[in-house]
Amino acid sequence: MPLLDKEFLQAIGITLDEQSYLALADHFKTTLFQRVITEIVDELTPEQAAELAALEGDDEHLNQWLVDNVTDLQEIVQDEVDILLGEISEEREKISN
């Protein structure tokens, strides 16, 4: 299930055509990724940051490394999802077609 779906948008009063929905969903995903990475990097030691940088391009090992080394990973992701969904809700009049 996508983190941002049409049902959620409709529930908060946003109606978008397919192209606009896909653009918003892509923006949501990109923004979420950037914010989560920023939060994670802020919590890492310099040694951990170097380890993480060495894993670029290896998604399987990267995911496992994050699970093993970022104790509040799920909380970080959930907090950022909640913040983004809240921002979308606050800006619904500007977003809707």
- 66 or 57: whose pLDDT is higher? 66
Cβ(87)–Cβ(9) below 8 Å:
no
* Mean pLDDT, rounded, of the chain: 90
- 96 or 30: whose pLDDT is higher? 30
Cα 27 to Cα 9, 14, 30, 66, 90, distances in angstroms: 14, 16, 5, 23, 16
Q: What pTM was estimated for this model as a whole?
A: 0.83
**Helix, strand and coil in the chain, % to nearest 5:** 75, 0, 25
Amino acid 2: pLDDT:
65
pLDDT tens for residues 30-65? 999 999 999 999 999 999 999 988 887 778 888 899
Cβ(16)–Cβ(97) below 8 Å:
yes
pLDDT band at 93 (very low <50, low <70, confident <90, very high): confident
CA 43 – CA 2 distance, rounded (Å): 27
